[in-house]
């Protein structure tokens, strides 16, 4: 029996680690593509892409771990059936019920890790994401301009295009700017640009050696001026107020709110978030046990059908958790019921499926020909 437990635990851990590393690589690839797209559009800074990808991965790790454990147990069971090793274990007096103990040896530590992530690490990671985005919003408009790309401010009222400076990083090269000022359309071109801060704290983008064209669209009225220096006010932001706003926003977002604050808050939205943080660890345990009967396949028939059904069952489980969370948030389901209802139903389903797998059918009586 010890040999059986050691071999099963070792194989589950091998499959679990392979699936986990694969899912993390796929997740990071998707997140990096999305974040690079946001950085190219000017919604985030290019210097925070790696940090946001890391924190977003930490926030997604509970679900990734739960799914990886489920697939690891499922593939282990399926492989034993497919290669007829399960026949050897059955002939040695080992049934599917004996698989529960080695599966729990892997599932319980994963449950504790997932619980730590959902209760503490995930809210912290979401707060860091909010902080990263708030710090980017605090930057001045000039600091958000990426050389070689168009950048919009004030809802598209101002559009900048600038080239990189050959002298230093604090200034820009040739600049093109379009400004919508009431009925006037203003086009400005300049050779160089830099920022200046006046004693009142307001910042200006100072354009040097360029031209300004003022015109009214649809009419022939137009003005042209050549300038040596032309200043455009950049909307200043108060750092302390912005940071305070970022903290309040992080606390308002219940995904980033610490678990202790969720417990002390008696709003339905907080109870729904708390239910999700408690549900994922128990879901990882339930899915690991559910994989035992779902992984039992007939090697003569094939495994594609069973694996497809197992994937659909796991998706149904996670979706029911999200649905229960929504019902709790909208007050349709009490927290005291929603926190355990889905897990209890799937635990009963697991027990029934295990019983159906291990039941012994009575042999059919022989047919006696007259």
- The sign of the torsion formed by the CA atoms of 256, 261, 263, 269 equals negative
Look at residues 238, 53, 247 and name the one whose alpha carbon lies nearest to residue 134.
247
The enclosing H or E element of 193 equals strand 184-197
How many domains, the chain?
A: 2
User: Which has the higher per-residue pLDDT, 125 or 192?
Assistant: 125
368 within a domain of the structure (yes/no): no
Res 185: pLDDT: 87
Residues 290 and 230 in one domain: no
pLDDT score of 184 more than 50: yes
Mean pLDDT of the chain: 81
Residues 213 and 255 in one domain: no
pLDDT score of 76 more than 70: yes
Q: CA 135, 141, 145: angle at the middle one, nearest 5? A: 100
Final residue of a structural domain among 236, 259, 280: 236
pLDDT score of 143 more than 60: no
Q: CA 180, 182, 188: angle at the middle one, nearest 5? A: 35
pLDDT score of 60 more than 90: yes
Residues 249 and 229 in one domain: no
Res 37: pLDDT: 86
Residue 345, classed as helix, strand or coil, is helix
Residues 18 and 125 in one domain: yes
Say which DSSP state 97 is in. Answer: G
366 within a domain of the structure (yes/no): no
Residues 9 and 117 in one domain: yes
The C-alpha torsion from 74 through 80 and 81 to 82, rounded to 10°, is 100
Q: How many whole angstroms separate alpha carbon 129 and alpha carbon 303?
A: 41
Over residues 54-75, mean pLDDT:
94
Over residues 188-197, mean pLDDT:
81
At 200-258, the pLDDT tens digits run 666 677 888 888 888 888 777 888 888 888 777 665 444 445 455 555 555 567 888 88
252 within a domain of the structure (yes/no): yes
Residues 121 and 218 in one domain: no
Residues 6 or more apart whose CB falls under 8 angstroms from that of 190 comprise: 174, 175, 177, 207, 208, 209, 210, 230
Residues 188 and 307 in one domain: no
Q: CA 51, 55, 57: angle at the middle one, nearest 5? A: 115
Provide the β-strand partners of residue 214: 186, 223
Res 370: pLDDT: 47
pLDDT score of 132 more than 90: no
Residues 132 and 264 in one domain: yes
pLDDT score of 89 more than 70: yes
pLDDT tier for residue 367 given thresholds of 50, 70 and 90? low
47 within a domain of the structure (yes/no): yes
Q: How many whole angstroms separate alpha carbon 255 and alpha carbon 262?
A: 10
Over residues 56-75, mean pLDDT:
94
User: Which has the higher per-residue pLDDT, 32 or 252?
Assistant: 32
Lowest-pLDDT choice from 104-113, 129-138, 352-361: 129-138
DSSP per residue over 15-84, as a string? HHHHHHHHHHHHHHHHHHHHHHHHHHTTSS-GGGHHHHHHHHHHHHHHHHHHHHHHHHHHHHHHHHHHTT
Helices (H) and strands (E) in the chain, counts: 11, 6
Judged by phi (left if over 0) then psi (alpha if -120 to 50, else beta), residue 182 lies in left
Chain-centroid distance of CA 125 in Å reads: 10
Res 341: pLDDT: 93
365 within a domain of the structure (yes/no): no
Residues 113 and 151 in one domain: no
171 within a domain of the structure (yes/no): yes
Residues 220 and 279 in one domain: no
68 within a domain of the structure (yes/no): yes
Res 247: pLDDT: 54
DSSP 3-state percent helix, strand, coil across the chain (nearest 5)? 60, 15, 20
The enclosing H or E element of 185 equals strand 184-197
pLDDT score of 306 more than 60: yes
Residues 190 and 69 in one domain: no
Res 202: pLDDT: 66
Res 21: pLDDT: 96
**Edge-to-edge, what's the strand order for the sheet holding 171-181?**
150-153, 158-164, 171-181, 184-197, 203-215, 222-234
- Full residue range of the structural domain in which residue 159 is found: 146-236
Final residue of a structural domain among 174, 206, 236: 236
Residue 324 class from Cβ within 10 Å (0-12 exposed, 13-18 middle, 19+ buried)?
A: buried
Number of alpha carbons in the 13 Å side-chain half-sphere of residue 232:
26
Q: How many whole angstroms separate alpha carbon 291 and alpha carbon 96?
A: 11
264 within a domain of the structure (yes/no): yes
pLDDT score of 92 more than 60: yes
Lowest-pLDDT choice from 58-67, 100-109, 247-256: 247-256
Lowest-pLDDT choice from 192-196, 274-278, 302-306, 322-326: 302-306
Final residue of a structural domain among 236, 261, 291: 236
User: Which has the higher per-residue pLDDT, 172 or 142?
Assistant: 172
Residues 156 and 211 in one domain: yes
pLDDT tier for residue 265 given thresholds of 50, 70 and 90? confident
pLDDT score of 342 more than 90: yes
Q: How many whole angstroms separate alpha carbon 93 and alpha carbon 31?
A: 48
């Amino acid at each position: 029996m010890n040999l059986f437990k050691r071999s099963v635990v070792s194989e589950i851990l091998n499959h679990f680690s392979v699936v986990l590393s694969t899912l993390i690589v796929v997740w990071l690839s998707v997140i990096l593509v999305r974040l690079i797209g946001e950085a190219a559009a000017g919604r985030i800074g290019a210097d925070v892409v790696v940090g946001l990808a890391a924190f977003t991965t930490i926030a997604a790790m509970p679900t990734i771990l739960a799914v990886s454990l489920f697939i690891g147990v499922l593939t282990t069971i399926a492989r034993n059936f497919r290669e007829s090793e399960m026949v050897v274990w059955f002939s040695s007096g080992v049934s599917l019920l004996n698989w529960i103990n080695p599966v729990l040896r892997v599932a319980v530590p994963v449950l504790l890790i997932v619980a730590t992530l959902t209760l503490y690490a995930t809210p912290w990671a979401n707060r860091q994401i909010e902080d990263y985005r708030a710090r980017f919003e605090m930057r001045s408009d000039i600091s958000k301009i990426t050389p070689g790309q168009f950048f919009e401010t004030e809802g598209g009222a101002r559009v900048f295009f600038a080239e990189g400076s050959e002298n230093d990083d604090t200034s820009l090269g040739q600049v093109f700017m379009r400004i919508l000022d009431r009925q006037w359309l203003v086009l400005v071109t300049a050779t160089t640009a830099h920022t200046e801060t006046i004693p009142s704290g307001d910042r200006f983008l100072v354009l040097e050696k360029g031209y300004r064209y003022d015109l009214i669209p649809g009419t022939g009225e137009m003005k042209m001026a050549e300038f040596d220096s032309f200043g455009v006010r950049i909307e200043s932001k108060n750092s302390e107020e912005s940071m305070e706003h970022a903290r309040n926003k992080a606390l308002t977002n219940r995904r980033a709110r610490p678990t202790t604050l969720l417990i002390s808050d008696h709003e339905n939205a907080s109870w729904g978030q708390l239910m999700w943080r408690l549900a994922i660890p128990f879901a990882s345990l339930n899915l690991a046990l559910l994989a035992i009967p779902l992984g039992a396949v007939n090697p003569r028939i094939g495994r594609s059908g069973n694996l497809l059904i197992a994937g659909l069952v796991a998706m149904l489980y996670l979706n029911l958790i999200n649905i229960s969370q929504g019902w709790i948030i909208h007050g349709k389901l009490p927290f005291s019921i929603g926190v355990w209802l889905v897990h209890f139903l799937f635990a009963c389903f697991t027990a029934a499926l295990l019983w159906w797998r291990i039941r012994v059918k009575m042999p059919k009586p022989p047919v006696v020909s007259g």
